[in-house]
Chains A and B, each alone.
Chain A
């Protein structure tokens, strides 16, 4: 008996396949194009922020500085210099009285308007100042240098001074606190649910609820944090401790789910072999299941933490989206985080903050991408096939 294939039907099926392939291809291209446009736009707007304009000035220390700090600099050039430079002169002189009467030649920060002009962006310089800046630039007295201030300063209202240091340190604090609370709790909860929990109705309810928690909008965790940690426990508002605990609540279900999946992937033969040799149930978990599932657990944890450091919504509720200039000096002092810093800059009226906003986004994206890369590397290195 021969199998009869209708050539028309075959063609039709092959056509279908081609169409389906084309559609899938289009879907991935659209996603790819959006991603490229997004990255390109952010980089285009933000790359200029990694350079900052500096200006060469002669600073003369006189008694007059105490009343009018700007008098230290030639009055023609003074309007081009950042306020961040002149306003600290009185304090600098008070601490270093030997400078009185001396003149120093320094490269100092130019103000944001000069900076934007040098970078070819819209600015509010007066025509007279524009000529002066162009002359000084031709004479080599205005230069663009790598913007170290962006990484070593805290937030500022002067765009040329604004940096991400305090937000970055705040993010580290939050990350550490989030990890310290959610990792042990999450892993232990998952071990219990996978290895020890009885199979009854109560446990099913717990399981369903954990899965639901992972899908709750993050802002609700902010409300929970406000109610429990600030209003009930009385921790200080805006502090890294409250922020970290709130994000820990949010990350907990993610870690539990990832850990359970990792534990479930360990074949039963491992457990049975250990039990057969007389190990207690506890020894099986501690000596065999946990070490073998650790790469999976860590991958899940890193992805959960990466999600947590990109969060602003819950932090808005607990007062961390604010003007916080200084680095946190402990878990109870006020702190802000990178995404909150980006949000604050994006609503500034001064246009020089636009490039800073984009530069902040670039830094955050780099951090997130590296965290995800570490997760992938861990998985590839330690992944075992059974």
Chain B
């Protein structure tokens, strides 16, 4: 039994040593949006490779999960930065403040377009944002009444559209891309139509919208087999797979770096990260990470992140954001309230 006993004692000792550590950390910890993840980890790697600091740890939890961890408190056991594919919510700001996270700086890093794409062999498709909303919403107005979405074919929505089955492969409810899509397509259109309740943004749950998992590569693969279908996913996947898929024009505009940055392409959103300013002194490498991320080399017009699908901010906006971030401008609730 001696050997077993020794092992157990050792194990227990390890446990005690482990729990006794409110240890300091020498590595930046980042958490949050899976959309910002590729950019964030790219910068993390660059920091690790070009400086003496270890590469930060970047976790992909989704924007909501990231803010929850970020706002849970201060200290080395909480992340220093939260990535987010939307602005911080008022409620998240208040929770964070209640837990002692009061000095936060917001960094806007660029845009991400959401592409509505189909198989490259198909005829190019051009639809309006309204037609898109009518195809994906759970309820639509027919003869002045709101009824569960009856449309099965595109030409039922508008006779000038092709007689093609309506099928979407899109993100599941847990995804930030889905939130953004609901807001920018369904809420934007249905919000203007009478008869809907306020803030309506439901996506249909019948076979016309197939939640295809968090992995955008799977959606791209589905499009090569299902020629009727449209896929809903991030712009970077469109760029990378340009030989097999093409984007539908929304309101006559196809997504590219220019139309997304200028806002001409209607389905695009801003990407952010949030920093705990009080962690600057305690965590080595945090300052350098933020400086590197905000540098022209990364988020600039021809920056490295553009190569992997980030759409840069316009020049003046970028300069302003950089100045604010480096000056550690404190985020207030009022900032979040004004759009």
Contacts and interface: CB of A to CB of B under 8 A. Distances in A.
B27 A333 contact: yes
Interface in B1-45: 1, 4, 7-8, 10-11, 14, 18-19, 21-23, 25, 27, 29, 31, 34, 37-38, 40-42, 44-45
Contacts of A181: 11
B214 A322 contact: no
Contact of B4 (A90, A184, A233, A241): A184
B60 A321 contact: yes
Nearest to B243: A122
B278 to A, nearest CB: 19
B207 interface: no
A323 interface: yes
A310 interface: no
B110 interface: no
Interface stretch (A18-26, A43-51, A192-200, A344-352): A344-352
A241 B19 CA distance: 11
Nearest to A162: B45
B57 interface: yes
A321 B60 CA distance: 7
Contact of B37 (A238, A319, A323, A331): A323
Nearest to B52: A91
B54 to A, nearest CB: 5
Contacts, number: 114
Size class of A's contact patch?
35 or more
Contacts of B31: 319
Contacts of A235: 18-19
Nearest to B59: A322
Interface stretch (B98-106, B140-148, B234-242): B234-242
Contacts of A180: 7, 10-11, 14
Contact of A325 (B4, B45, B50, B69): B45
B49 interface: yes
A146 interface: no
B48 interface: yes
B332 interface: no
Interface residues of B, number: 52
Interface-central residue, A87, A323, A326, A350, by most chain B CB under 10 Å: A323
Contacts of B27: 333-334
Contacts of B41: 157, 323
A349 B236 contact: yes
Interface string A106-128: 00000000000000001010000
Interface-central residue, B37, B40, B41, B77, by most chain A CB under 10 Å: B41
B233 to A, nearest CB: 9
Interface string A235-276: 111100100000000000000000000000000000000000
B215 interface: yes
Nearest to B43: A157
Interface in A313-337: 319, 321-326, 331-334
B217 interface: yes
A317 to B, nearest CB: 10
A149 interface: no
A326 B48 contact: yes
Contacts of B77: 234, 236-237
18 contacts: A91-B50, A157-B41, A183-B7, A323-B40, A323-B44, A323-B57, A325-B44, A331-B14, A331-B18, A334-B27, A334-B57, A344-B60, A347-B217, A348-B38, A349-B38, A349-B237, A349-B308, A349-B309
Interface of B: 1, 4, 7-8, 10-11, 14, 18-19, 21-23, 25, 27, 29, 31, 34, 37-38, 40-42, 44-46, 48-50, 54-55, 57-61, 69, 76-77, 214-217, 234, 236-237, 239-241, 243, 304, 308-309
Given A237-B77, A323-B44, 17 more contacts: A84-B49, A156-B45, A157-B41, A180-B14, A183-B7, A184-B7, A319-B31, A322-B59, A322-B60, A323-B60, A325-B44, A326-B55, A346-B215, A347-B217, A348-B38, A349-B237, A351-B240
